[in-house]
Chain A
């Protein structure tokens, strides 16, 4: 029986549980002996010209090796020329920074654009010395008016990039001016919602160590992809083959560790510049100031349809705050536009986006990256529409779902959905949750005027995974003469369980037991070509690559076995349960992998492949959230969260459930408590974990997961990505639940996060509105 689909506990764990992982700060490689500690001097103001930097006092401190600023970076290649700026140019594909006039420097040159921007780097013998010395670097700022919000950016009273002449750095999507799409709609709802800025917050922040010796730079980075990091690090003026990047254990990424940031490039440069190895491990304060953050959209919605619940038209205008630097340009909102209509067959859809720069921390991918915003928006809109039409939100969803017979289905925004069973997923969730009983209990509490009201929130979602399916993923498998196998994957693990999953695939195809399969990732000397982990791509691309390599190794082994058996190749078979090679019809003779591999050239059977996929995949599901809202205090308690998340056949339920759990918690966190805040001068208000409301175990229930497995035809495993789905579904389900709990009090919408203060205020204002209405009616 195949091991695939069974509950296998992780092979990664014993080491992590007894000795702890080896993260960048734990590395004791000889190359890092005597490594200097790097401490960054960061901008304390949101927007200013730098008029002077005095490092003399810092240089006199004990243990200080160097204090370096942009003026010291004379050994770097010059930045490319600025070029022309066209805000209407199509979005840059993939996670690339917007260059030209919008270019981001390494260390700040003559201007800072957000609090936390690196201005200088201090190298010391020890961490404490670095903190002391960095305090003494004196930077003179000539403050400029801050651009702390999308509104301020659009007002253009202050420009972050004067050469651009605007704060709008990109526009895209469709023409959204055609009002006639709402002609004939009996029910039309229009409004604004905010998808707030949140911190990615991996438990290990960013960290990089670098050593330069004999013309070769070695960089250990906490990254989701060593190979992309190597490409980015060529910015210090070395060719890729003079750089080795190693990803040791990585303490979470969530999108914010795709590649490496400017700080890592500076650390690598400092190691080359000074000849001394350098290690940088950021503090949580730095992490909350300067690691890229997520979401940060303001959206305008208009939705219309018939009184009986059929949605006819949907319009979405996205305003993306990209922070001080357009690291991902229009990429994130272009995904929001692509996924705008969600799971619904809507005859007319228009969506566009505009990206602005602000004095905020740069925005980049965060678990979902553009798709959670789309799902949160359409799912709010559908609830608005259902409420206005006086219909049950579950019924309206079912009326408008794309039906199973319509796949493959191309949406009006151009998304090619591969497969889906949207109504079945919702039905499973409703049944598991006991939807009708919950509604009955809700009615009972409403009629009783209970202080604690019940809210039931639904979200049906679809998302896009492996967006860059064509880039694929690499895998090399060696089967050695001792019968063990080594898998070199271009994918990159930081908690997902790649090593367990990929070893399972090898065992399933080759019959080599998992404990004889070693999986290696994240070292560009061993794996120069690889793409890495983001966009929920690892199993569908990386896993399919492992399977493809295994099948090629098997073919090669069959040839060797046939020669050893002196049999025809067609008669040689592998028993995948025992890992023994045999000749059909002759059960007495068999060969082990060790025997077959020993006959291969060099004693190793080898396959080196790249798996590419024709198109992205579109996992989907439904989630139901049950909350209790104390109407006297505004406090929300998440009571239950039931989900059906379908990403095709499940390779290992243990891992899949883990991804869903984590995703749900992060999605619920955005709905309930997390938000990065700035004051009117662009000063961050949430720069420690004492201020930023990261969700804890005490605010969450155990989750109730329902299984559904609809395969895709796009890869041989039939799988789609599951890393981000939980988050995408959970945010709107929880938000809809909270608003549902107080909708009978006249509340139509509350923006996230749904803190007690916001919920209480919404209830009070709705009460006041009702009061005024009743008074004026008299």
Chain B
């Protein structure tokens, strides 16, 4: 079937199998490989992207469901001039990543979380990240990064 998506501001049209998952569309058709696959069961959040501004786990969304909609991945977060998004910057400054595999999904989940709640408490951040698994950081610095980005982000 034919699908038309706007990915990071760019229109992409492609003929795909009906069963094509959004994450495979992003990785294989749009050739944007930052979005990783971690579990295929909507449990780990490595594949989190924004669909019309809201976070979704792209391993359990069909490309067909995203037809005509707009997707933002990690690659689309920095400004055109290349300046990192405040959440990306906070991850760097607070050492919020180690191996980097969960990072794209984690960053997107936090971008979405802060849009919904620009000044969360630590508890709210932790609850909000329940669907994103990181195996390296113990979440300590991820939570710190989210809180630090929140304090610097304009609501």
Contact = CB atoms under 8 A, between A and B. Distances in A.
Contact of B75 (A10, A13, A20, A689): A20
A689 B43 contact: yes
A10 B95 CA distance: 7
A10 B141 CA distance: 13
B130 A18 contact: no
Given A17-B103, A17-B107, A19-B34, A203 B43 contact: no
Interface string B59-78: 00000000000000011011
Interface in A13-30: 13-14, 16-23, 25-26, 28
Interface stretch (A317-325, A385-393, A656-664, A765-773): A656-664
B15 to A, nearest CB: 14
A9 B141 CA distance: 12
Contacts of B102: 203
Given A20-B104, A252-B101, A664-B138, A657 B143 contact: no
A128 B100 contact: no
B136 A495 contact: yes
Interface in B130-155: 130-144
Interface in A26-67: 26, 28
B127 A203 contact: no
Nearest to B88: A17
A202 B99 CA distance: 9
Contacts of A9: 92-93, 95
Interface of B: 17, 19, 24, 27, 31, 33-41, 43-44, 46, 74-75, 77-78, 82, 84, 88, 91-93, 95, 97-104, 107, 122, 125-127, 129-144
A657 B98 CA distance: 12
A321 B138 CA distance: 28
Contact of B126 (A13, A251, A698): A698
A565 interface: no
A19 B103 CA distance: 11
A203 B84 contact: no
Contact of B41 (A19, A22, A128, A690): A690
A284 B39 contact: yes
Contacts of A12: 100
A507 interface: no
Given A665-B139, A694-B133, A698-B126, A203 B33 contact: no
A158 interface: no
A494 interface: yes
A204 interface: yes
Given A202-B99, A662-B98, A703 B130 contact: no
13 contacts: A9-B93, A20-B104, A25-B36, A204-B101, A252-B98, A254-B135, A494-B99, A495-B97, A661-B137, A662-B136, A662-B137, A688-B40, A697-B139
A16 B91 CA distance: 10
A664 B136 CA distance: 10
Given A17-B92, A284-B40, A700-B139, A203 B126 contact: no
B9 to A, nearest CB: 15
Contact of B91 (A17, A657, A663): A17
B99 A10 contact: no
B84 A18 contact: yes
A633 interface: no
B139 A203 contact: no
Interface in A452-497: 494-497
Contact of A251 (B19, B101, B137): B101
A761 interface: no
A204 B99 contact: yes
A345 interface: no
Nearest to A15: B100
A662 B101 contact: no
Best-surrounded residue of A17, A25, A249, A690 (most CB of chain B within 10 A):
A17
Nearest to A694: B133
Given A17-B107, A201-B135, A497-B98, A702 B143 contact: yes
B75 A204 contact: no
Contacts of A662: 98, 135-138
Contact of B125 (A25, A26, A697): A697
Q: Which bracket fits the contact residues of A?
A: 35 or more
Given A689-B44, A689-B133, A698-B129, A20 B36 contact: yes
- List the 6 shortest-distance A-B pairs measured between CB atoms, nearest first: A20-B34, A251-B101, A665-B138, A495-B99, A495-B98, A689-B43
Interface in A199-219: 201-204
Contacts of A250: 99
Nearest to A660: B138
A74 interface: no
A441 to B, nearest CB: 21
B64 to A, nearest CB: 14
B48 to A, nearest CB: 13
Nearest to A250: B99
Given A17-B100, A665-B137, 11 more contacts: A13-B100, A17-B107, A25-B37, A204-B99, A658-B98, A688-B39, A689-B133, A696-B131, A697-B130, A697-B134, A726-B138
Interface string A280-315: 000111000000000000000000000000000000
A127 interface: yes
Contact of A663 (B36, B44, B138, B141): B138
Contacts of B33: 20, 22, 25-26
Contacts of A560: none
B98 A17 contact: no
Contacts of A726: 138
Given A252-B136, A284-B44, A655 B36 contact: no
A661 B133 contact: no
B19, B97, B136 — most chain A CB neighbours (10 Å): B136
Contacts of B143: 697, 702
A18 B88 contact: yes
A654 interface: yes
A697 B142 contact: yes
A666 interface: yes
A338 B100 CA distance: 35
B140 to A, nearest CB: 4
Contacts of A251: 36, 99-101
Interface string A164-201: 00000000000000000000000000000000000001
A203 B38 contact: yes
Nearest to B92: A13
Given A655-B95, A697-B139, A284 B41 contact: yes
